[in-house]
Chain A
Amino acid sequence: MISEKGIDMADFSSSFDMPSASSSESADAAELQRLIAVEQQKAQFQAQVHNFTDACWDKCVDKPSSKLDSRTETCLVSCVERFIDTTLTITNRFTQMVQKGAH
């Protein structure tokens, strides 16, 4: 999702190729790559939260009110869990299908 907004995380890692430089500059570049990888992971988490919120809002929130009642909160939490379970189920079953030679 973030990439559609113009930040392609791949740009960050590929633009820091290791120069044939002094060892301290190589260490800096390696540290930078590591720090950027951390931020990239955080960004992926945020992107997933956007996706889940988008899907689960439709399923759980009927009329916007003055606060999220506990029924809605429970629905949102369950929705996230079931979405992940669905993803895992699909991945596993698809893997089995591919291994059996199906398409």
Chain B
Amino acid sequence: MDSFSSDFPSGSSSGKMDTGTIMEQVKVQIAVANAQELLQRMTDKCFKKCIVKPGSSLDNSEQKCIAMCMDRYMDAWNTVSRAYNSRLQRERARI
């Protein structure tokens, strides 16, 4: 994350930091971290599924498998996200 961090703007002469600017930066940093997490897990899963015996390069079938795997992983992520959200809403309704 170091390469994506940016310092918050230092206080202006009035000593005030702009809430909007700070929140924008917070959201961006969180989004970047989320994308990195996604890519790391996706790489792990798709490597396991697609590269059975590592050769001297990625052959065509491996490349196609990786592409499909990426799409399916993101589909799965979305399905899980919806399911989790539904469950949370159901639990909140019970309280």
Q: Which residues of A come within 8 Å of B, CB atoms?
A: 1-2, 5-7, 12, 21, 25, 28, 31-32, 35-36, 39, 42-43, 45-50, 52-54, 56-58, 60-61, 63-68, 72-73, 76-77, 79-81, 84
Query: In the complex, which residue of chain A has the Cβ closest to the Cβ of B45?
Result: A57
Q: A2-B37, A36-B26, A39-B30 are in contact. Are A64 and B80 (CB under 8 A)?
A: no
Grouping DSSP codes into helix (H, G, I), strand (E, B) and loop, the B interface class, with mixed when no group exceeds half, is helix
Are B27 and A39 neighbours in the complex by a CB distance under 8 Å? yes
Of all A-B residue pairs in the complex, the 5 with the closest CB atoms, nearest first, are: A6-B1, A64-B69, A80-B83, A77-B83, A5-B33
Residues of B within 8 A of A81 (CB): 83, 87
Residues of B within 8 A of A58 (CB): 45
Query: In the complex, which residue of chain B has the Cβ closest to the Cβ of A15?
Result: B8
Bound-state CA distance A61–B73 (Å) is 9
Pick from A2, A6, A47, A65: contact of B2, CB below 8 A. A6
Q: Which residues of B come within 8 Å of A, CB atoms?
A: 1-2, 5, 15-17, 19, 22-23, 26-27, 29-30, 33-34, 36-38, 41, 45-46, 49-50, 65, 68-69, 71-73, 75-77, 79-81, 83-85, 87-88
Q: A64-B49, A65-B72, A76-B80 are in contact. Are A6 and B19 (CB under 8 A)?
A: no
The CB with the most chain B CB atoms within 10 A, among A56, A72, A76, is that of A76
Q: A28-B16, A73-B79, A76-B79 are in contact. Are A53 and B41 (CB under 8 A)?
A: yes
Are B37 and A64 neighbours in the complex by a CB distance under 8 Å? no
Residues of B within 8 A of A61 (CB): 49, 72, 76
Are A56 and B68 neighbours in the complex by a CB distance under 8 Å? no
Bound-state CA distance A63–B36 (Å) is 24
Bound-state CA distance A5–B30 (Å) is 10
The CB with the most chain B CB atoms within 10 A, among A5, A31, A47, A76, is that of A5
Are A68 and B33 neighbours in the complex by a CB distance under 8 Å? no
